[in-house]
């Protein structure tokens, strides 16, 4: 197989060969997938947190002060 030293594995930095795009091995592809999923989950949690905080503000504005 032809190695592409200009395309290192994003996980372990080993040179990738042939048609490899996301990792040099099954283990590295799985790790890269877990990292992408974790980043997506963090972004979703930030978005939900922001929406909840906004909803709390809106609901708090409707209350009469004691």
pLDDT digits (tens, 9 = 90+) for 6-46: 788 989 999 888 888 888 999 999 999 999 999 999 999 99
pLDDT at 55: 93
Query: Is 66 part of any domain?
Result: no
Assign 61 a pLDDT band (cuts: 50, 70, 90).
confident
Q: How many domains does the chain divide into?
A: 1
pLDDT at 43: 97
Nearest to 29 by CA among 41, 11, 2: 11
pLDDT at 17: 84
pLDDT at 6: 79
> Is the distance from CB of 5 to CB of 15 less than 8 angstroms?
yes
> Is the distance from CB of 8 to CB of 14 less than 8 angstroms?
yes
Query: Is 36 part of any domain?
Result: yes
Q: Which domain holds residue 14?
A: 3-61
Using CA atoms, how far apart are residues 42 and 44, in angstroms rounded to an integer?
5
* CA 25, 26, 31, 32 torsion-angle sign: positive
> Is the distance from CB of 16 to CB of 8 less than 8 angstroms?
yes
Query: Is 25 part of any domain?
Result: yes
pLDDT at 30: 96
């Amino acid at each position: 197989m032809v190695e592409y030293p200009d395309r290192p594995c994003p996980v372990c930095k080993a040179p990738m060969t042939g048609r490899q795009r996301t990792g040099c091995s099954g283990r590295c592809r799985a790790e890269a997938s877990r990292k992408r999923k974790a980043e997506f989950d963090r972004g979703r949690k930030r978005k939900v947190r922001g929406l909840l905080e906004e909803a709390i503000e809106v609901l708090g504005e409707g209350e009469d002060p004691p």
